[in-house]
Amino acid sequence: MLTELYREYGITQATFYRWPCKYGGMEVSDAHGRNRLLDENRRLKTLVADSNLDKQILKHVQGKK
């Protein structure tokens, strides 16, 4: 019975049992909001990392002159 659900949704048994710990007590809108925040956080971290890389490249290029 549960094995059919795992296959139908393409998840593992571990994922099925981990979800209540992660999302227990949340409404669907709360979970969507959480995921949007995580995506935004990931995007901002990438921007900061790119900016820091650009800064290091500029310092390296200026040091060669």
Cβ atoms within 10 Å, residue 26: 12
User: Domain span at residue 53?
Assistant: 2-64
- Assess whether pLDDT exceeds 80 at residue 64: no
Q: How far apart are the first and last CA of the chain?
A: 69
Number of domains in the chain: 1
pLDDT per residue as tens digits for the range 25-62 = 889 899 899 999 999 999 999 999 999 999 999 999 99
**Which one is predicted more confidently, 56 or 24?**
56
Q: Is 52 exposed, middle or buried (0-12, 13-18, 19+ CB in 10 A)?
A: exposed
Q: Tell me the pTM.
A: 0.59
Mean of pLDDT values over 11-34: 89
Dihedral over alpha carbons 24, 25, 30, 35 (to 10 degrees) = -10
Query: Phi/psi of residue 24, each to 5°?
Result: -55, 130
